[in-house]
Structure 1
Amino acid sequence: MDIDIDYELDAVARRVEQTDQQAAAHLDRVGPVTGQAANGAVSVEVRPGGQLSAVHLTPAALSGGAEALAAQIMALAAQATRRAGAAMHQALAPVLGPDGERHLASLGYEPLDNDSPDIEDTVYESPLGPPPRRPRR
């Protein structure tokens, strides 16, 4: 049985192109994730890859002192980054096939589980809505 190398290479190229198009369509739905303290004094924005892109403060944010403000910004940014990674995971896992979740996890894009600690009095927004809840194992 002879193998037609050109045919096989064309088939691989078609699968790569199809996967690329599917991934691009899913990624178009992923936008920044915002995290905001419930009182609205501090908010952060994180891009899908986890890069902090904006920090917004009101005068009320300064009332607790510099250390408390820094801690709140870091906590909001960390949680928003985890949520951005979960959004990336949610968007790309269906496209990447059976090994996709493992590859995404190696990049730090993991779904949020039911035990993920949330910051109290914090509101988060993601263009994909809340991440799906995974059953406890």
Structure 2
Amino acid sequence: MADCVFCAIVAGSVPAFKVIDSPAGVGFLDTRPVFKGHVLVVPREHVVTLPELPASVLPDYFALVQRVSAAVPAALGATGTFVAINNIVSQSVPHLHTHVVPRTKGDGLRGFFWPRTRYADDAEATDYAAKIADRLR
């Protein structure tokens, strides 16, 4: 896509601090990292959200994400990683990208980046589960 910065990074026409360039996708440093070493992994094909990613691409793409999530802590001395995908909401670039953020106990990041809530009771949780399950049938 002509006006997509991530497509331009994949094509090599926009510079980036690439950590991997493979047939499955490209991994590069986020320019505004949560922590230094925060990598974005993008598929070569332009898709906006995870549901749009062709099923045939999933195994290789997530194998790439898996490799990056193993390499980040090993390379940086971190304890682990936080791996996340935003679909539309909070997605600053409309091209699917997976965040791989280095994590260390006591790094100051607490849980998710947003407030948490609770279900009023088991009946409400059952209702939400049923609505989602119905869409998966």
TM-score (norm 2): 0.29
Q: Which has the higher contact order (CA 8 A, sep 6+)?
A: 1
Q: Which structure: greater strand fraction?
A: 2
Radius of gyration: which is bigger?
A: 1
Greater fraction helix = 1
Per the normalisation by structure 1, the TM-score is: 0.29
